[in-house]
Protein backbone atom coordinates (compact mmCIF):
# COMPACT_ATOMS: atom_id res chain seq x y z
CA UNK A 1 0.00 0.00 0.00
CA UNK A 2 1.48 3.35 -0.96
CA UNK A 3 -1.28 5.79 0.00
CA UNK A 4 0.45 8.70 -1.66
CA UNK A 5 -0.89 12.19 -0.93
CA UNK A 6 -4.14 12.85 -2.76
CA UNK A 7 -3.82 14.91 -5.91
CA UNK A 8 -3.87 18.68 -5.59
CA UNK A 9 -7.28 20.22 -4.98
CA UNK A 10 -6.21 23.17 -7.04
CA UNK A 11 -8.61 23.93 -9.85
CA UNK A 12 -8.90 27.51 -10.98
CA UNK A 13 -5.62 29.13 -9.97
CA UNK A 14 -3.07 27.70 -12.38
CA UNK A 15 -0.78 28.63 -13.99
CA UNK A 16 0.81 30.02 -10.83
CA UNK A 17 3.38 32.77 -10.93
CA UNK A 18 4.09 33.06 -7.21
CA UNK A 19 5.33 29.96 -5.42
CA UNK A 20 2.98 28.66 -2.72
CA UNK A 21 3.65 29.34 0.92
CA UNK A 22 4.03 26.07 2.76
CA UNK A 23 1.46 25.49 5.49
CA UNK A 24 -1.54 27.46 6.75
CA UNK A 25 -2.80 26.58 10.25
CA UNK A 26 -6.25 27.86 11.23
CA UNK A 27 -7.58 27.46 14.78
CA UNK A 28 -7.66 29.38 18.04
CA UNK A 29 -5.07 29.22 20.76
CA UNK A 30 -6.61 28.58 24.15
CA UNK A 31 -5.83 28.43 27.83
CA UNK A 32 -5.92 24.88 29.19
CA UNK A 33 -6.66 24.31 32.87
CA UNK A 34 -5.95 20.78 34.13
CA UNK A 35 -7.95 19.85 37.22
CA UNK A 36 -7.56 16.77 39.38
CA UNK A 37 -9.24 15.97 42.70
CA UNK A 38 -10.78 19.43 42.72
CA UNK A 39 -7.45 21.26 42.40
CA UNK A 40 -5.82 22.98 39.45
CA UNK A 41 -2.64 20.99 38.74
CA UNK A 42 -1.51 22.94 35.67
CA UNK A 43 -2.43 25.89 33.44
CA UNK A 44 -0.90 25.78 29.98
CA UNK A 45 -1.07 27.17 26.47
CA UNK A 46 -3.47 24.98 24.47
CA UNK A 47 -5.32 24.74 21.22
CA UNK A 48 -4.47 22.39 18.37
CA UNK A 49 -2.85 25.32 16.52
CA UNK A 50 -0.29 25.76 19.31
CA UNK A 51 0.70 22.07 19.44
CA UNK A 52 0.87 21.81 15.65
CA UNK A 53 2.94 24.96 15.14
CA UNK A 54 5.29 23.70 17.85
CA UNK A 55 5.91 20.53 15.80
CA UNK A 56 6.25 22.43 12.51
CA UNK A 57 8.55 25.12 13.93
CA UNK A 58 10.73 22.46 15.60
CA UNK A 59 10.94 20.61 12.29
CA UNK A 60 11.83 23.80 10.35
CA UNK A 61 8.66 23.68 8.26
CA UNK A 62 7.48 27.23 7.68
CA UNK A 63 3.88 28.01 8.48
CA UNK A 64 1.39 30.88 8.74
CA UNK A 65 -1.05 30.69 11.59
CA UNK A 66 -4.46 32.35 11.95
CA UNK A 67 -5.79 32.33 15.49
CA UNK A 68 -7.93 34.62 17.66
CA UNK A 69 -7.46 35.32 21.35
CA UNK A 70 -8.91 37.77 23.84
CA UNK A 71 -7.40 40.67 25.79
CA UNK A 72 -6.39 38.23 28.56
CA UNK A 73 -4.16 35.96 26.42
CA UNK A 74 -1.15 35.30 28.55
CA UNK A 75 1.45 33.45 26.49
CA UNK A 76 4.40 34.53 24.33
CA UNK A 77 3.98 32.75 21.00
CA UNK A 78 6.04 32.68 17.81
CA UNK A 79 3.01 33.20 15.57
CA UNK A 80 1.08 36.24 16.80
CA UNK A 81 -2.67 35.79 17.08
CA UNK A 82 -5.37 38.32 16.18
CA UNK A 83 -6.47 39.96 19.44
CA UNK A 84 -10.20 40.55 19.89
CA UNK A 85 -10.00 43.24 22.60
CA UNK A 86 -13.61 42.91 23.72
CA UNK A 87 -13.41 39.14 24.12
CA UNK A 88 -11.72 36.63 26.41
CA UNK A 89 -9.46 33.86 25.22
CA UNK A 90 -11.04 30.43 24.75
CA UNK A 91 -10.56 28.36 27.93
CA UNK A 92 -10.87 24.60 28.33
CA UNK A 93 -10.99 22.91 31.71
CA UNK A 94 -9.94 19.25 31.64
CA UNK A 95 -11.13 17.25 34.64
CA UNK A 96 -9.08 14.11 35.14
CA UNK A 97 -11.26 12.45 37.75
CA UNK A 98 -14.84 12.79 36.57
CA UNK A 99 -15.19 9.54 34.61
CA UNK A 100 -16.24 9.34 31.00
CA UNK A 101 -17.06 12.56 29.18
CA UNK A 102 -19.58 13.32 26.45
CA UNK A 103 -17.07 12.37 23.76
CA UNK A 104 -16.08 9.04 25.28
CA UNK A 105 -12.74 10.02 26.84
CA UNK A 106 -12.35 7.58 29.73
CA UNK A 107 -9.60 9.70 31.21
CA UNK A 108 -10.93 13.25 31.27
CA UNK A 109 -13.99 15.44 30.99
CA UNK A 110 -13.53 18.52 28.83
CA UNK A 111 -15.44 21.78 29.33
CA UNK A 112 -15.19 24.96 27.26
CA UNK A 113 -15.71 27.66 29.86
CA UNK A 114 -14.96 30.66 27.65
CA UNK A 115 -15.06 31.12 23.86
CA UNK A 116 -13.26 33.69 21.73
CA UNK A 117 -14.54 34.89 18.35
CA UNK A 118 -14.81 32.61 15.30
CA UNK A 119 -12.25 32.85 12.51
CA UNK A 120 -13.81 34.40 9.41
CA UNK A 121 -12.77 33.94 5.77
CA UNK A 122 -11.58 37.58 5.81
CA UNK A 123 -9.12 36.74 8.64
CA UNK A 124 -7.31 34.30 6.31
CA UNK A 125 -4.64 35.61 3.91
CA UNK A 126 -5.40 35.54 0.20
CA UNK A 127 -2.12 33.75 -0.64
CA UNK A 128 -1.87 30.17 -1.86
CA UNK A 129 -0.54 27.36 0.36
CA UNK A 130 0.64 23.81 -0.21
CA UNK A 131 -1.18 22.54 2.89
CA UNK A 132 -3.98 23.98 4.99
CA UNK A 133 -4.89 22.70 8.45
CA UNK A 134 -8.37 23.35 9.84
CA UNK A 135 -7.80 22.69 13.52
CA UNK A 136 -10.35 24.50 15.66
CA UNK A 137 -11.05 23.43 19.23
CA UNK A 138 -13.95 25.58 20.39
CA UNK A 139 -16.24 25.89 17.36
CA UNK A 140 -14.25 28.78 15.84
CA UNK A 141 -14.08 27.33 12.33
CA UNK A 142 -17.18 28.10 10.28
CA UNK A 143 -18.24 26.32 7.07
CA UNK A 144 -17.32 29.46 5.09
CA UNK A 145 -13.87 29.46 6.73
CA UNK A 146 -13.26 25.90 5.59
CA UNK A 147 -14.56 26.79 2.14
CA UNK A 148 -11.99 29.58 1.85
CA UNK A 149 -9.28 27.17 2.97
CA UNK A 150 -10.07 24.62 0.28
CA UNK A 151 -10.02 27.46 -2.27
CA UNK A 152 -6.52 28.66 -1.38
CA UNK A 153 -4.75 25.46 -0.27
CA UNK A 154 -3.65 22.60 -2.52
CA UNK A 155 -4.42 20.02 0.19
CA UNK A 156 -6.44 20.60 3.36
CA UNK A 157 -6.16 18.43 6.48
CA UNK A 158 -9.04 18.72 8.93
CA UNK A 159 -9.25 17.64 12.54
CA UNK A 160 -12.80 16.39 13.00
CA UNK A 161 -12.87 18.06 16.44
CA UNK A 162 -13.08 21.39 14.59
CA UNK A 163 -16.32 20.28 12.92
CA UNK A 164 -18.39 18.14 15.29
CA UNK A 165 -18.00 19.71 18.74
CA UNK A 166 -20.98 21.32 20.46
CA UNK A 167 -20.93 22.84 23.92
CA UNK A 168 -23.40 22.46 26.75
CA UNK A 169 -25.04 25.90 27.23
CA UNK A 170 -24.88 25.55 31.03
CA UNK A 171 -21.45 24.16 31.88
CA UNK A 172 -19.68 24.11 28.50
CA UNK A 173 -19.21 20.31 28.51
CA UNK A 174 -17.97 19.16 25.10
CA UNK A 175 -20.33 16.88 23.19
CA UNK A 176 -20.15 15.62 19.61
CA UNK A 177 -22.65 15.57 16.76
CA UNK A 178 -22.61 13.27 13.75
CA UNK A 179 -20.41 14.61 10.95
CA UNK A 180 -23.38 14.54 8.55
CA UNK A 181 -25.23 16.98 10.81
CA UNK A 182 -22.26 19.25 11.42
CA UNK A 183 -22.93 21.75 8.63
CA UNK A 184 -19.57 20.91 7.01
CA UNK A 185 -20.46 17.69 5.22
CA UNK A 186 -20.98 19.31 1.81
CA UNK A 187 -17.36 20.57 1.78
CA UNK A 188 -15.67 17.33 2.76
CA UNK A 189 -15.24 15.94 -0.77
CA UNK A 190 -12.80 18.84 -1.30
CA UNK A 191 -10.45 18.07 1.61
CA UNK A 192 -7.41 15.81 1.49
CA UNK A 193 -7.24 14.38 5.02
CA UNK A 194 -9.67 13.93 7.89
CA UNK A 195 -8.14 13.09 11.27
CA UNK A 196 -10.26 11.70 14.11
CA UNK A 197 -9.51 10.00 17.42
CA UNK A 198 -11.11 6.57 17.86
CA UNK A 199 -13.81 8.18 20.07
CA UNK A 200 -14.58 10.81 17.45
CA UNK A 201 -14.57 8.28 14.61
CA UNK A 202 -17.83 6.89 16.03
CA UNK A 203 -19.46 10.11 14.81
CA UNK A 204 -18.72 9.52 11.13
CA UNK A 205 -19.14 6.76 8.60
CA UNK A 206 -15.52 5.81 7.92
CA UNK A 207 -16.52 3.48 5.08
CA UNK A 208 -18.17 6.41 3.31
CA UNK A 209 -15.64 9.11 4.22
CA UNK A 210 -12.66 7.08 2.99
CA UNK A 211 -14.01 7.47 -0.54
CA UNK A 212 -14.05 11.26 -0.18
CA UNK A 213 -10.60 11.74 1.40
CA UNK A 214 -7.86 9.99 3.32
CA UNK A 215 -9.16 9.21 6.84
CA UNK A 216 -6.70 8.83 9.72
CA UNK A 217 -8.02 7.44 13.00
CA UNK A 218 -5.65 7.78 15.96
CA UNK A 219 -5.90 5.30 18.78
CA UNK A 220 -3.68 6.42 21.66
CA UNK A 221 -1.01 3.91 22.63
CA UNK A 222 -2.07 1.64 19.74
CA UNK A 223 -0.93 4.07 17.02
CA UNK A 224 -3.27 4.89 14.15
CA UNK A 225 -5.11 3.43 11.20
CA UNK A 226 -5.33 4.95 7.74
CA UNK A 227 -8.24 4.45 5.36
CA UNK A 228 -8.27 5.59 1.75
CA UNK A 229 -10.57 4.18 -0.90
CA UNK A 230 -9.99 0.40 -0.78
CA UNK A 231 -6.69 0.59 1.12
CA UNK A 232 -6.30 0.54 4.86
CA UNK A 233 -3.46 -0.13 7.23
CA UNK A 234 -2.38 0.22 10.85
CA UNK A 235 0.68 2.35 11.56
CA UNK A 236 2.50 1.18 14.70
CA UNK A 237 2.98 3.33 17.81
CA UNK A 238 6.09 4.27 19.77
CA UNK A 239 6.44 3.40 23.43
CA UNK A 240 5.65 6.27 25.78
CA UNK A 241 5.19 6.92 29.48
CA UNK A 242 1.95 8.90 29.45
CA UNK A 243 1.77 11.90 31.75
CA UNK A 244 -0.97 13.96 30.08
CA UNK A 245 -2.78 12.99 26.83
CA UNK A 246 -3.63 16.62 25.95
CA UNK A 247 -2.37 17.62 22.52
CA UNK A 248 -1.31 14.12 21.41
CA UNK A 249 -3.70 14.19 18.48
CA UNK A 250 -2.59 17.71 17.55
CA UNK A 251 1.11 16.83 17.57
CA UNK A 252 0.23 13.71 15.60
CA UNK A 253 -1.35 15.90 12.91
CA UNK A 254 1.71 18.20 12.99
CA UNK A 255 4.02 15.21 12.44
CA UNK A 256 1.83 13.89 9.62
CA UNK A 257 2.02 17.23 7.79
CA UNK A 258 5.78 17.52 8.36
CA UNK A 259 6.12 14.09 6.73
CA UNK A 260 3.92 15.07 3.78
CA UNK A 261 5.78 18.37 3.28
CA UNK A 262 9.02 16.35 3.24
CA UNK A 263 7.54 14.15 0.50
CA UNK A 264 7.02 10.95 2.49
CA UNK A 265 4.18 8.57 1.66
CA UNK A 266 1.09 8.83 3.85
CA UNK A 267 1.94 5.78 6.03
CA UNK A 268 5.50 7.05 6.58
CA UNK A 269 4.17 10.52 7.41
CA UNK A 270 1.69 8.94 9.84
CA UNK A 271 4.59 7.16 11.53
CA UNK A 272 6.15 10.57 12.08
CA UNK A 273 2.77 11.64 13.50
CA UNK A 274 2.86 8.72 15.94
CA UNK A 275 6.34 9.76 16.98
CA UNK A 276 5.39 13.36 17.82
CA UNK A 277 2.14 12.17 19.48
CA UNK A 278 4.05 9.77 21.71
CA UNK A 279 6.49 12.46 22.85
CA UNK A 280 3.62 14.86 23.60
CA UNK A 281 1.88 12.51 26.05
CA UNK A 282 5.04 12.53 28.17
CA UNK A 283 4.63 16.26 28.85
CA UNK A 284 2.17 18.59 30.47
CA UNK A 285 1.45 21.36 27.96
CA UNK A 286 3.69 22.05 24.98
CA UNK A 287 6.55 19.56 24.64
CA UNK A 288 9.98 21.02 24.05
CA UNK A 289 11.57 18.70 21.53
CA UNK A 290 15.18 17.75 22.07
CA UNK A 291 17.44 19.19 19.34
CA UNK A 292 19.45 15.99 18.94
CA UNK A 293 16.25 14.00 18.59
CA UNK A 294 14.97 16.41 15.92
CA UNK A 295 18.23 16.18 13.98
CA UNK A 296 18.16 12.38 14.09
CA UNK A 297 14.56 12.37 12.89
CA UNK A 298 15.45 14.73 10.02
CA UNK A 299 18.36 12.46 9.03
CA UNK A 300 16.13 9.39 9.11
CA UNK A 301 13.49 11.14 6.99
CA UNK A 302 16.11 12.03 4.34
CA UNK A 303 17.48 8.48 4.47
CA UNK A 304 13.99 7.04 4.07
CA UNK A 305 13.27 9.26 1.07
CA UNK A 306 16.47 8.18 -0.68
CA UNK A 307 15.74 4.56 0.07
CA UNK A 308 12.20 4.82 -1.32
CA UNK A 309 13.50 6.53 -4.46
CA UNK A 310 15.88 3.64 -5.09
CA UNK A 311 13.39 0.87 -4.41
CA UNK A 312 9.63 1.28 -4.35
CA UNK A 313 9.38 -2.02 -2.42
CA UNK A 314 10.40 -0.08 0.71
CA UNK A 315 7.12 1.81 0.55
CA UNK A 316 5.30 -1.00 2.24
CA UNK A 317 7.89 -1.82 4.85
CA UNK A 318 7.43 0.20 7.99
CA UNK A 319 9.47 -1.95 10.26
CA UNK A 320 12.82 -0.55 9.27
CA UNK A 321 11.72 3.12 9.40
CA UNK A 322 10.05 2.47 12.76
CA UNK A 323 13.16 0.74 14.11
CA UNK A 324 15.39 3.58 13.01
CA UNK A 325 13.11 6.27 14.44
CA UNK A 326 12.69 4.56 17.84
CA UNK A 327 16.20 5.23 19.22
CA UNK A 328 16.03 8.81 17.91
CA UNK A 329 12.81 9.27 19.82
CA UNK A 330 14.31 8.00 23.08
CA UNK A 331 17.14 10.48 23.03
CA UNK A 332 14.66 13.18 24.10
CA UNK A 333 14.24 14.64 27.57
CA UNK A 334 13.24 12.22 30.36
CA UNK A 335 9.57 12.54 31.27
CA UNK A 336 10.39 12.20 34.95
CA UNK A 337 11.43 15.85 34.85
CA UNK A 338 7.78 16.85 34.61
CA UNK A 339 6.51 18.61 37.72
CA UNK A 340 3.26 16.72 38.30
CA UNK A 341 2.45 13.41 36.72
CA UNK A 342 -0.88 12.27 35.41
CA UNK A 343 -0.85 8.74 34.02
CA UNK A 344 -4.08 7.83 32.27
CA UNK A 345 -5.70 10.42 34.43
CA UNK A 346 -4.08 9.33 37.68
CA UNK A 347 -1.20 10.73 39.63
CA UNK A 348 1.91 8.67 39.00
CA UNK A 349 2.60 8.28 42.69
CA UNK A 350 -0.92 6.93 43.26
CA UNK A 351 -1.71 4.63 40.37
CA UNK A 352 -4.24 2.66 42.39
CA UNK A 353 -6.71 5.56 42.26
N1 LIG B 1 0.05 6.44 25.55
C2 LIG B 1 0.58 6.59 24.34
N3 LIG B 1 1.68 5.91 23.98
C4 LIG B 1 2.24 6.06 22.76
N5 LIG B 1 1.75 6.87 21.80
C6 LIG B 1 0.63 7.56 22.09
C7 LIG B 1 -0.01 7.47 23.36
N8 LIG B 1 -1.08 8.28 23.34
C9 LIG B 1 -1.10 8.86 22.13
N10 LIG B 1 -0.08 8.43 21.37
C11 LIG B 1 0.22 8.82 19.97
O12 LIG B 1 -0.45 10.03 19.69
C13 LIG B 1 -1.46 9.81 18.66
C14 LIG B 1 -2.69 10.63 19.00
O15 LIG B 1 -3.20 10.23 20.25
P16 LIG B 1 -4.76 10.04 20.52
O17 LIG B 1 -5.30 8.95 19.69
O18 LIG B 1 -4.88 9.92 22.00
O19 LIG B 1 -5.33 11.41 19.95
P20 LIG B 1 -6.44 12.37 20.50
O21 LIG B 1 -7.45 11.61 21.32
O22 LIG B 1 -6.88 13.18 19.35
O23 LIG B 1 -5.56 13.27 21.48
P24 LIG B 1 -5.95 14.60 22.25
O25 LIG B 1 -7.43 14.84 22.09
O26 LIG B 1 -5.57 14.25 23.65
O27 LIG B 1 -5.09 15.63 21.62
C28 LIG B 1 -1.69 8.30 18.64
O29 LIG B 1 -2.10 7.88 17.36
C30 LIG B 1 -0.32 7.76 19.02
O31 LIG B 1 0.52 7.70 17.90
O1 LIG C 1 -5.28 22.25 24.12
C2 LIG C 1 -6.21 21.23 23.93
C3 LIG C 1 -5.84 20.43 22.71
O4 LIG C 1 -5.73 21.26 21.60
C5 LIG C 1 -6.84 19.33 22.42
O6 LIG C 1 -6.57 18.71 21.20
C7 LIG C 1 -8.26 19.84 22.38
O8 LIG C 1 -9.10 18.72 22.31
C9 LIG C 1 -8.61 20.65 23.61
O10 LIG C 1 -9.90 21.20 23.46
C11 LIG C 1 -7.61 21.77 23.84
O12 LIG C 1 -7.95 22.43 25.04
**pLDDT at residue number 16:** 53
Our count of domains for the chain comes to: 1
Asked whether residue 301 is assigned to any structural domain, the reply reads yes
161 Cα to the center of ligand 1, angstroms: 14
**pLDDT at residue number 53:** 98
Query: Of 101, 159, 250, 268, which one is the catalytic site residue?
Result: 250
**pLDDT at residue number 11:** 45
**pLDDT at residue number 4:** 54
Q: Measuring from each residue's beta carbon to the nearest atom of ligand 1, which residues come in under 6 Å?
A: 197, 218-221, 223-224, 237-238, 240, 242, 245-250, 252, 274, 277-278, 281
CB of 195 within 8 A of CB of 159? yes
Asked whether residue 12 is assigned to any structural domain, the reply reads no
Strands annotated E in 254-334: none
Asked whether residue 353 is assigned to any structural domain, the reply reads no
In terms of Cα–Cα distance, which of 8, 265, 266, 269 is closest to 156? 8
Asked whether residue 78 is assigned to any structural domain, the reply reads yes
**pLDDT at residue number 99:** 58
Asked whether residue 15 is assigned to any structural domain, the reply reads no
Q: Are strands 224-228 and 165-167 parallel, antiparallel or unpaired?
A: unpaired
Asked whether residue 175 is assigned to any structural domain, the reply reads yes
CB of 280 within 8 A of CB of 251? yes
Q: Whose CA is nearest to atom 8 of ligand 1?
A: 220
Asked whether residue 187 is assigned to any structural domain, the reply reads yes
Owning domain of residue 101: 21-333+341-347
Which burial class, exposed, middle or buried, applies to 83 when counting CB atoms under 10 A from its CB (0-12, 13-18, 19+)?
A: middle
Q: Whose CA is nearest to atom 6 of ligand 2?
A: 247
Q: Residues for the chain: how many in total?
A: 353
295 Cβ contact list (under 8 Å, min separation 6): none
What digits encode the pLDDT tens for the residues 32-68? 999 998 999 999 999 999 999 999 999 999 999 999 9
Asked whether residue 126 is assigned to any structural domain, the reply reads yes
In terms of Cα–Cα distance, which of 160, 164, 82 is closest to 119? 82
Tell me the CATH number at 265: 3.40.1190.20
> Count of CB atoms within 10 A of residue 200's CB?
23
pLDDT-flagged residues of the chain (< 50): 1, 7-13, 332-353
**pLDDT at residue number 309:** 76
Amino acid sequence: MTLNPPPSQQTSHSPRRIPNRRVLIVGNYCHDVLIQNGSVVAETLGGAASFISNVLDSSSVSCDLVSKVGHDFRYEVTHSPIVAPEKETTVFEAYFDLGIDGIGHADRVLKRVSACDPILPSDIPDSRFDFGMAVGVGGEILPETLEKMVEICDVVAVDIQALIRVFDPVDGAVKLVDLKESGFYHILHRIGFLKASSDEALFMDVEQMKHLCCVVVTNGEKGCRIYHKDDEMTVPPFLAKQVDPTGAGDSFLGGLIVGLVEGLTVPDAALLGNLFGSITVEHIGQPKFDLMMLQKVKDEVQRRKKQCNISSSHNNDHNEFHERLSPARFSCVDSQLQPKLLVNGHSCDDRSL
